[in-house]
Amino acid sequence: MTKKTIYLLTLAALAIMLLAACSANSTNSGGATFNGSYSPQNASSSGADPAGSAANESTHPAAQELTYATAKDINDINPHLYAGSIPATGMVFESLVENTKDGIKPLLAESWDISPDGKSYTFHLRKGVTFHDGAPFNAEAVKKNIEAVQANAAKHAWIKLSAKIAAIHALDEHTVQLDLTEAYYPALLELAMTRPYAFISPNDFKNGGTRDGVTGYNGTGPYRLVEHKTDQYAVFEANESYWGEAPHLSKITAKVLPAGETTLLALKKGEVNFIFTDDRGADSIDVQAMNQLAEDQNYQIVRSQAMNTKIIAANSSKSDSPVAEKAVREALWQSIDRETISMDIFSGTELPAESLFSSNVNYADIGLGKREYNPEAAIRLLEEAGWKSDSRSGIRSKNGRALSVKLYYDAASPSQKTQAEFIQSTAKTAGIGLELVGEESSSLAKRRATGDYELLFNQTWGLAYDPQSTISAFTAESSYLHTTKGIHQADELYGKINEVMVSKDEQSRQALYREILTIVHDEAVFIPLTNGIVTIIAPKDLKHISFKQTQYELPFEKMGFQ
Per DSSP, 240 falls in state T
| CA–CA gap between residue 110 and residue 98 (Å, rounded) | 11
Region from 154-162, 335-343, 379-387, 529-537 binding another protein, contact rule CB under 8 A: 154-162
Instruction: State whether residue 484 is helix, strand or coil.
Output: helix
Closest to another protein by CB, 70 vs 239, is 70
Per DSSP, 151 falls in state T
DSSP string, 345-363: ISTTSEEE--SSS-TTSTT
Binding-site string for another protein from residue 114 to residue 153, where x marks contact by CB under 8 A and - marks none: ----------------------------------------
- List 306, 351, 379, 473, residue binding another protein (CB under 8 A): 473
Q: Tell whether residue 43 is a contact of another protein (CB under 8 A).
A: no
At 235, which amino acid appears? V
Instruction: State whether residue 378 is helix, strand or coil.
Output: helix
Q: Tell whether residue 81 is a contact of another protein (CB under 8 A).
A: yes
Min dist. Cβ of residue 293 to another protein (A): 12
Region from 79-87, 139-147, 519-527, 533-541 binding another protein, contact rule CB under 8 A: 79-87
How far lies 466's CA from each of 471, 472, 549, in Å? Answer: 8, 10, 10
- List 154, 296, 400, 505, residue binding another protein (CB under 8 A): 154
Min dist. Cβ of residue 538 to another protein (A): 19
| CA–CA gap between residue 426 and residue 403 (Å, rounded) | 14
Binding-site string for another protein from residue 82 to residue 121, where x marks contact by CB under 8 A and - marks none: xxx-------------------------------------
How far lies 315's CA from each of 322, 465, 469, 485, 486, in Å? Answer: 10, 22, 19, 8, 8
- List 176, 200, 266, 493, residue binding another protein (CB under 8 A): 266
- List 140, 259, 376, 401, residue binding another protein (CB under 8 A): 259
Number of residues engaging another protein in binding (CB under 8 A):
68
Region from 34-42, 137-145, 167-175, 242-250 binding another protein, contact rule CB under 8 A: 34-42
HSE-up of 403 (CA within 13 Å, CB side)? 29
Min dist. Cβ of residue 453 to another protein (A): 16
Q: Tell whether residue 251 is a contact of another protein (CB under 8 A).
A: no
- CB of 424 closer than 8 Å to CB of 335: no
Q: Tell whether residue 257 is a contact of another protein (CB under 8 A).
A: yes
Closest to another protein by CB, 14 vs 63, is 14
Min dist. Cβ of residue 270 to another protein (A): 9
Binding-site string for another protein from residue 382 to residue 401, where x marks contact by CB under 8 A and - marks none: --------------------
Q: Tell whether residue 38 is a contact of another protein (CB under 8 A).
A: yes
- CB of 407 closer than 8 Å to CB of 441: no
Min dist. Cβ of residue 69 to another protein (A): 9
| CA–CA gap between residue 429 and residue 231 (Å, rounded) | 47
Closest to another protein by CB, 85 vs 546, is 85
The gap between the terminal CA atoms of the chain, to the nearest Å, is 67
Min dist. Cβ of residue 494 to another protein (A): 17
Q: Which of residues 188-247 bind another protein (CB under 8 A)?
A: 212-213, 229-233
Q: Tell whether residue 10 is a contact of another protein (CB under 8 A).
A: yes
Q: Tell whether residue 26 is a contact of another protein (CB under 8 A).
A: yes
Contacts of 508 (CB under 8 A, 6+ apart): none
How far lies 93's CA from each of 234, 242, 398, in Å? Answer: 16, 12, 57
Q: Tell whether residue 19 is a contact of another protein (CB under 8 A).
A: yes
Nearest to 429 by CA among 382, 369, 371, 370: 382
State which H helix or E strand residue 206 sits in: strand 205-206
ω into 375 cis (within 30 of 0): no
Beta strands of 263-403 (E only): which ranges? 275-276, 299-303, 308-314, 350-352, 397-398, 401-402
Q: Tell whether residue 171 is a contact of another protein (CB under 8 A).
A: no
Min dist. Cβ of residue 274 to another protein (A): 15
Q: Tell whether residue 261 is a contact of another protein (CB under 8 A).
A: yes
| CA–CA gap between residue 35 and residue 29 (Å, rounded) | 10
Binding-site string for another protein from residue 415 to residue 454, where x marks contact by CB under 8 A and - marks none: -------------------------xxxx-xx--x-----
Closest to another protein by CB, 41 vs 253, is 253
Contacts of 218 (CB under 8 A, 6+ apart): 131, 132, 133, 135, 200, 201, 203, 204, 224
Question: Mapped to the 3 state alphabet, what secondary structure does 41-58 carry?
Answer: CCEECCCCCCCCCCCCCC
Q: Which residues lie near another protein (CB under 8 A)?
A: 1-2, 5-6, 8-10, 12-14, 16-23, 26-28, 34-38, 75-76, 81-84, 154-155, 157-159, 212-213, 229-233, 255-259, 261-262, 265-266, 268-269, 271, 440-443, 445-446, 449, 473, 476-479
